[in-house]
A and B are shown apart, each in its own frame.
Chain A
């Protein structure tokens, strides 16, 4: 029992350490195999734990005391309950597949061993995050995944910075730093939230905090909810801290699949789900989360409409789907948010891995307008990506349908019709841009031969690694009824009103119609030689969208540059005041030394004379002092 928890948790760490031992040497295949098989071990352990959680057996272990000072007691404790078991299984399945996939994808990379070390370290941190039984442990995992994300986004750190016109992400190291700094801003919010929790409930253990939260002053709970959500906003890349996610696509594609689609970015949603007793007390904050989520869903989808960079399109769709999850979580339908989190992890990881195959075939070209007609050479990849896109669009009976439709129903049920409408429109947009990508990449006119690409399919084992995800992208939704019963053992159930029950068929029909409409429009528009009436690339709307609403530029001009100016000002103050003071002290001592050097003539009789003078002076002083007293 307990040992299973430790196996699930520490197998990835062991793999990471083994790979790290060979981190600086050239590629050795066995690091990939060792880390992958250790992750598989972790995956099976997680599955057994899930089975236990299903049968209702909670496992709560305390590895050791971490901080014990006065009233503060924080252990390294881990809990396996409905929520964390689900997260563990999702995380380990996706990461095992991504590890195996990476053996093929990173085949020719010089940093092969380093890559696997980072990737397994990420999985370990993520497991700490989801399994911890207290907020402090969660925060450790939270920072750990942030660090691994930084390492992996900047994996190709040797690439030079370029201007925004050439590559909106500037360079991998720039993107990595951006992601890290954005998350620091959010983490400050989260830390304040944690301090407030400790201050007012006297504990950081989930169970104790949630038991005590009812007695805490409402205003304080508001602030706790808001500050925790600020932390979630950074990790889950919600507006206005969203810019890093699209730029993080500079990392290797398996990283995008694992970290920036399936697992790490959902940590924010996990936090809100985990802290559900807090958000239940303050529904207003929840409503705000839902509104922001809906806004981001739409906002990201519009940016995906025009983008030409394959990975960025998928990144925006991740952003958009995270918005959906926050709507569900914010409106109190926690189990639905968790369900969408799980299904989304499967199909979005699959989509990214498919994109990785295409990149591999296209010599790392990302512009979808330079591809086309790849279906002929890359049939399995094409089928996988179409499956994932259909699931993302939410077509029956694929995974996305069940979870996404439930979120729309929740928005309808809460009578927040504006949210429902926004999500409904976004569902159409999602279907459209997903199939725009599919059409541009796999169908239509061959546009890659002219610039000399030689597309080829990936090795078979890579495709096999993707197939479990493909299977899950299809069937994960069928477990909805079962998952509902299971997750609501821990999470509060969400009750639909009778009115909504009557409307469900209608809602499903309307949503499916808009999704199908989006798909069909994309197919019709982009088949054959492409659109008859090409998009006007000079229209203001297009410019606005392709430049990401000019937000990166605004950030640069409003935040980064003034901050740089402030920093250089502070630097000159430092140089002219602080440094000058210290230098003055040093210089005066130095000067005194060189003046006094004259005394040291080495002439004994001179020194003796000085000594005698000193004795005389002291004698006089002693006499004077004696008489005065």
Chain B
């Protein structure tokens, strides 16, 4: 029997993987992958909790997140392409214009 706890553990593991990816990766494209993983970890948790309480709003929220994540990726990838054309690299450390 798969319980709510199992889903939440899955969600936590996915989230941790995403977080570690965000922290460790140096390539901007992979950073995007990592954020997507994190967002979807949250979606899993939403769907599971929604089912558990018998309330559809959690699942609706998951759909919203998917939509927002899609648009975010669209904008982000556009920016990345411009950045790559300009700098010739997607290395995170090259993005240091804000250094104080």
Give the interface of A toward B (CB within 8 A).
Answer: 597, 599-605, 608-609, 612
Chain A residue at smallest Cβ distance from B24: A605
Q: Is the CB of B92 within 8 A of A605?
A: yes
The reply to whether the CB of B1 lies closer than 8 angstroms to some CB of chain A is no
Q: Which of B19, B22, B26, B96 touches A602 (beta carbons < 8 Å)?
A: B96
Interface size on B, residues (CB 8 A): 12
Q: Is the CB of B22 within 8 A of A608?
A: yes
A604 contacts across to B, CB distance below 8 A: 92, 95
Q: Is the CB of A600 within 8 A of B23?
A: no
The contact sample of 5 A-B pairs, CB cut-off 8 A, is A600-B98, A600-B100, A602-B98, A604-B92, A605-B93
A597 contacts across to B, CB distance below 8 A: 100
Question: What 10 pairs between A and B have smallest CB-CB spacing?
Answer: A602-B99, A600-B100, A602-B96, A602-B98, A597-B100, A605-B92, A604-B92, A604-B95, A609-B23, A601-B99
Question: How far apart are the CA atoms of A612 and B38 in the complex, in Å?
Answer: 13
Q: Is the CB of B23 within 8 A of A603?
A: no
Q: Name the distance in Å between B83's Cβ and chain A's nearest Cβ.
A: 12
Q: Is the CB of A605 within 8 A of B23?
A: yes
Question: How far apart are the CA atoms of A556 and B35 in the complex, in Å?
Answer: 81
A609 contacts across to B, CB distance below 8 A: 23
Most chain B CB within a 10 A radius of its CB, from A599, A603, A605, A612: A605
Given A601-B96, A605-B23, list of 12 further CB < 8 A pairs? A599-B100, A600-B99, A602-B96, A602-B97, A602-B98, A603-B93, A603-B96, A603-B99, A605-B92, A605-B93, A608-B23, A612-B23
| B8-27 near A? 1/0 per residue, CB < 8 Å | 00000000000100110010
Chain A residue at smallest Cβ distance from B95: A604
B2-49 contacts to A (CB < 8 Å): 19, 22-23, 26
A602 contacts across to B, CB distance below 8 A: 95-100
Chain B residue at smallest Cβ distance from A600: B100
A605 contacts across to B, CB distance below 8 A: 23, 26, 92-93
Question: How far apart are the CA atoms of A32 and B96 in the complex, in Å?
Answer: 73
Chain B residue at smallest Cβ distance from A609: B23
A600 contacts across to B, CB distance below 8 A: 98-100
B23 contacts across to A, CB distance below 8 A: 605, 608-609, 612
Chain A residue at smallest Cβ distance from B19: A612
Chain B residue at smallest Cβ distance from A601: B99
Question: How far apart are the CA atoms of A602 and B98 in the complex, in Å?
Answer: 4
Question: How far apart are the CA atoms of A604 and B26 in the complex, in Å?
Answer: 9
B93 contacts across to A, CB distance below 8 A: 603, 605
B19 contacts across to A, CB distance below 8 A: 612
| B71-100 near A? 1/0 per residue, CB < 8 Å | 000000000000000000000110111111
Most chain A CB within a 10 A radius of its CB, from B92, B95, B96, B100: B100
Question: How far apart are the CA atoms of A428 and B98 in the complex, in Å?
Answer: 92
B98 contacts across to A, CB distance below 8 A: 600, 602
A608 contacts across to B, CB distance below 8 A: 22-23
Q: Name the distance in Å between A623's Cβ and chain B's nearest Cβ.
A: 14
Chain B residue at smallest Cβ distance from A593: B100
Chain B residue at smallest Cβ distance from A615: B19
Question: How far apart are the CA atoms of A495 and B100 in the complex, in Å?
Answer: 92
Chain B residue at smallest Cβ distance from A605: B92
A601 contacts across to B, CB distance below 8 A: 96, 99-100
B96 contacts across to A, CB distance below 8 A: 601-603
Chain A residue at smallest Cβ distance from B28: A604
Q: Name the distance in Å between A620's Cβ and chain B's nearest Cβ.
A: 15
Q: Name the distance in Å between A625's Cβ and chain B's nearest Cβ.
A: 21
Q: Name the distance in Å between B12's Cβ and chain A's nearest Cβ.
A: 12
Question: How far apart are the CA atoms of A608 and B96 in the complex, in Å?
Answer: 13
Q: Name the distance in Å between A425's Cβ and chain B's nearest Cβ.
A: 86
Question: How far apart are the CA atoms of A502 and B66 in the complex, in Å?
Answer: 121
Q: Name the distance in Å between B45's Cβ and chain A's nearest Cβ.
A: 15
Q: Name the distance in Å between B20's Cβ and chain A's nearest Cβ.
A: 9
Question: How far apart are the CA atoms of A581 and B41 in the complex, in Å?
Answer: 53
Chain A residue at smallest Cβ distance from B93: A603
B95 contacts across to A, CB distance below 8 A: 602, 604
Question: How far apart are the CA atoms of A602 and B95 in the complex, in Å?
Answer: 7
Question: How far apart are the CA atoms of A602 and B23 in the complex, in Å?
Answer: 15
B26 contacts across to A, CB distance below 8 A: 605
B22 contacts across to A, CB distance below 8 A: 608, 612
Question: How far apart are the CA atoms of A104 and B100 in the complex, in Å?
Answer: 72
Question: How far apart are the CA atoms of A70 and B22 in the complex, in Å?
Answer: 69
B97 contacts across to A, CB distance below 8 A: 602
Question: How far apart are the CA atoms of A391 and B79 in the complex, in Å?
Answer: 101
Question: How far apart are the CA atoms of A402 and B81 in the complex, in Å?
Answer: 108
Q: Name the distance in Å between B79's Cβ and chain A's nearest Cβ.
A: 14
Chain A residue at smallest Cβ distance from B96: A602
Question: How far apart are the CA atoms of A604 and B100 in the complex, in Å?
Answer: 13
Q: Name the distance in Å between A546's Cβ and chain B's nearest Cβ.
A: 73
Q: Name the distance in Å between A12's Cβ and chain B's nearest Cβ.
A: 65
A599 contacts across to B, CB distance below 8 A: 100
Q: Name the distance in Å between A611's Cβ and chain B's nearest Cβ.
A: 9
Question: How far apart are the CA atoms of A599 and B99 in the complex, in Å?
Answer: 9
Q: Name the distance in Å between A53's Cβ and chain B's nearest Cβ.
A: 80
Q: Name the distance in Å between A443's Cβ and chain B's nearest Cβ.
A: 89
Chain A residue at smallest Cβ distance from B26: A605
Q: Name the distance in Å between A116's Cβ and chain B's nearest Cβ.
A: 63
Q: Name the distance in Å between B17's Cβ and chain A's nearest Cβ.
A: 13
Question: How far apart are the CA atoms of A237 and B86 in the complex, in Å?
Answer: 84
Q: Name the distance in Å between A435's Cβ and chain B's nearest Cβ.
A: 87
Question: How far apart are the CA atoms of A173 and B97 in the complex, in Å?
Answer: 60
Q: Name the distance in Å between B74's Cβ and chain A's nearest Cβ.
A: 21
Chain A residue at smallest Cβ distance from B20: A612
B99 contacts across to A, CB distance below 8 A: 600-603
Chain A residue at smallest Cβ distance from B25: A605
Q: Name the distance in Å between A244's Cβ and chain B's nearest Cβ.
A: 61
Question: How far apart are the CA atoms of A597 and B100 in the complex, in Å?
Answer: 6
Q: Name the distance in Å between B65's Cβ and chain A's nearest Cβ.
A: 19
Chain A residue at smallest Cβ distance from B99: A602
